[in-house]
Structure 1
Amino acid sequence: MFHELSEENQLIAETAAKLARDQLEPVAAALDRGEERESFLSNLKLLAENGFMGLNISADYGGTEAGATGFALAITEIAKACAATALTVSVSNMVAEVIQAIGSEEQRQTHLPRLTDGTYAAGSFCLTEADAGSDAASMRCRAVKDGDSYVLNGTKLYISSAEYAGVFVVWAVTDPSAPKGKGISTFLVEAGTPGLVIGKEEKKMGQTASATNEVHFQDCRVPASALMGKENDGFRFAVKELSGGRIGIGALALGIGLKAMDVATAYVSERKQFGQPLAAQQGIQWMLADRATELEASRLLILQAAGLKDAGKPFSTQASMAKLYASETAQRATYTALQLHGGAGYIKDYPLERYARDARITTIYEGTSEIQRLIIARDLLKDM
């Protein structure tokens, strides 16, 4: 299917590309070294002011109403400049979508404008635990009703943006006797709530500017009004939002892969060996052609999934296909780009090693490549 972008989506992509080029890319290497945290936060604020923290959120709450397609286009352009920033934008949009989907009107009015205008630097999505990663329904974090409150206890792992998030969407078991995945509820917990403790920041291989922390709930008391949706009915919304998040991670991976190959194409066009540019060698031309074809296929898969979501049609399998293919393609693209640079690609003076490190995690978070294959296969076999 040919995907012709609307004028609005073209404008979103162009605006994101300009902000990424002018504001994000100049500090990306410093952010990767653990420097310039204030620049990182100020760039998040700038992106919010330009509508990128509420891309699929109603204008009633300060959102852009760009839909899933606009979201995917924006994340791709941002990721070309700084994958860590793109991740933060993607997760914050996920948080906003959960609040819009199942939050009360009071919750929406309170928290969505703060996400969309940058009052909150980011939002955090608290699902993963030590024994509940791919098998998220096995979580042990508990929320016990106590009068007009709930008391949360447990630990979440690998939580993006926890250090500077303004609000946390948290899943916890409210009925331990229910069948697996059926006794889980969703809560909104504001930063600074007593008992919400941000743990150590993980030292990661890539995307280092995006803080990733443990989050501890230690007798964390929240009002009953913090419950989103119905009690014991929260896990299905986590599964649904993960599907939407996979469009974002696919787009992020695509952005990294495109940028790596852009840099590599320029390099082999200029670098001479044996009296001619490297790009004159047929073997190198084929490497460029293979990666370009795979990246274009990734783009089309992402737009297909996003288009289905925008149309209100089932999109989970297509999102898994897009995320699987784009993230695996990003691995090949970044390593091909590094290879084309030869020894220079292994040197930190060039950005190739950063692109390779940043791309690696995309096959893991929001569901590993193996989990995506299980989802796709389950859909293929459901009628057998």
Structure 2
Amino acid sequence: MPLFNDFGFTDEQKMLRESLLTLAQRHLPAERIRELDRDSGWPKEAYQALAKDGWLGLPYPEQYGGLNGSYKDVAILLETLSYHYACLATTYMTSVIYAGLQLLYNGSEELKRDYMVPMIRGELYLCFALTEPQTGSDAASIKTHAIADGDDYIIRGQKWFITSAHVADYIVLVVKTDPNAEPAHDGFSLFLVDAKAKGVTISPIETMGRHSTHTNQIFFDDVRVPARNLIGEKNRGWKILMRGLNLERMAIAACGAGNAQKAIEIAQDYSTQRIQFGRPITKFQAISHKFADMRIKAEMARLVTYRTAEMMDAGWDARMETAIAKIVATDNDFECANLGMQVMGGAGYSMEHDMQRLFRDSRLGPIGGGSNEIQRNIIAKLMGL
């Protein structure tokens, strides 16, 4: 049952999905995924295969070596990668979407040429750093700051829960450049920082799931950054960040949709072979109804994701829809994994089966990328409440 139907896809999008599935299966087989999860490894081979086939350039213009893909193309890619392995999709999103698109939208031509283009080719990996120990949902309260010093800036502070920073070559870093700005977010700026620069220290954070793209804390101790590495205008960082939020939420929704489908597949493969009282457990209504619920939830995740992507492609103001998609897809992803665990019973709880990994990995969705509580705040505000 490799993914659900492809209704509404163009022939090119159907080929895109099949090509990505083939690539993922070849370069990241099931046993390798289990090994990466167990050892907190990073899917370098699969990521480089994506780069070699040009997929890192999907959302980028052709003039920079990209494919000029649509938002729906990006949704298909991420749903497919997440269906195969959630951390492979996260690996892609971190560099290509969260960090790389900041250079596309706001970087100078020099930054695009020297860093974005090599990123598209897979020669550089970027991570994105906003969250701090005391500032998660309240992003406007960041403390990490940059002070001008001649042709450079000196950066001091700490970031927290930064995905794949341990393998990054460069960090797209959000800092405060005007500590007296009112409101506070009017004093934000973005910089591209060498992850190996003097004064940068990266330490892993042990988490329940997402072991392959595990998260990190980063310390900046008098890190010197050239002024030319400023991304966009000084003190305009908050506005810069807002531009990418619709795509980020839609991307997270696509990943949730893909992971939910994998949970159904794993549970169904097990349950059709699990014999109790002389018949497969899927023949019992208590089990079959759980599968029906899982299918409904996964299909709803897909529907809201693709509808939102199509709205964005049409130029629609989809702020409310992306927030809704993020909530629906990530909540449904976790609920599918949770139901899958229940259907499989002790086997699902066992490390011998993959369901426990999907359960662990899916739990991040409602938390990361702007918690689902924050998304509800956004929806309520847009409703005029």
Shorter-chain TM band? over 0.9
SS of residue paired to 2:169: strand
SS of residue paired to 1:302: helix
Q: CA deviation at 1:278?
A: 1.6
Specify the code of the residue in structure 1 equivalent to 2:112: R
Q: Kindly provide the CA deviation profile for residues 337-361 of structure 1, in whole angstroms up to 9, marking residues without a partner as x.
A: 1111122111111111111001001
Structure 2 partner of 1:139: 142
TM-score, normalised by the number of residues in structure 2: 0.94
* Pair 1:64-2:67 in alignment: yes
Unaligned runs of 5+ in 1: none
* Pair 1:261-2:264 in alignment: yes
Structure 1 partner of 2:162: 159
Cα distance in 2, alignment partners of residues 29 and 64 from structure 1: 32
Structure 1 partner of 2:207: 204
Counterpart among 30, 33, 38 of residue 33 in structure 1: 38
Structure 2 partner of 1:273: 276
Cα distance in 1, alignment partners of residues 170 and 64 from structure 2: 16
* Pair 1:246-2:226 in alignment: no
Q: CA deviation at 1:36?
A: 5.0
Q: Is the 8 A contact 1:25 1:82 kept in 2?
A: no
Q: CA deviation at 1:272?
A: 1.9
Structure 2 partner of 1:107: 111
Q: Kindly provide the CA deviation profile for residues 281-339 of structure 1, in whole angstroms up to 9, marking residues without a partner as x.
A: 22222211111111111111111222222233222221111111111101110011111
Q: Kindly provide the CA deviation profile for residues 215-270 of structure 1, in whole angstroms up to 9, marking residues without a partner as x.
A: 12211111111111111101122233233212121111221111010111222222
Counterpart among 45, 55, 58 of residue 55 in structure 1: 58
Cα distance in 2, alignment partners of residues 36 and 154 from structure 1: 27
Give the paired residue count. 377
Counterpart among 216, 225, 236 of residue 239 in structure 2: 236
Cα distance in 2, alignment partners of residues 317 and 195 from structure 1: 40
Specify the code of the residue in structure 2 equivalent to 1:304: R
**What percentage of aligned pairs have identical amino acids?**
32
Cα distance in 2, alignment partners of residues 305 and 346 from structure 1: 35
Specify the code of the residue in structure 1 equivalent to 2:37: D
Cα distance in 2, alignment partners of residues 68 and 168 from structure 1: 24
Cα distance in 1, alignment partners of residues 330 and 61 from structure 2: 30
SS of residue paired to 1:157: strand
SS of residue paired to 2:67: coil
Cα distance in 1, alignment partners of residues 336 and 318 from structure 2: 26
Counterpart among 18, 25, 43 of residue 14 in structure 1: 18
Q: Is the 8 A contact 1:52 1:89 kept in 2?
A: no
Q: Is the 8 A contact 2:176 2:187 kept in 1?
A: yes
Counterpart among 369, 375, 380 of residue 377 in structure 1: 380
Cα distance in 1, alignment partners of residues 383 and 28 from structure 2: 41
* Pair 1:82-2:90 in alignment: no
Cα distance in 2, alignment partners of residues 101 and 19 from structure 1: 29
Structure 2 partner of 1:127: 130
Specify the code of the residue in structure 1 equivalent to 2:87: A
* Pair 1:183-2:180 in alignment: no
Aligned-pair Cα RMSD in Å: 1.7
TM-score, normalised by the number of residues in structure 1: 0.94
Q: Is the 8 A contact 2:102 2:231 kept in 1?
A: no
Structure 2 partner of 1:344: 347
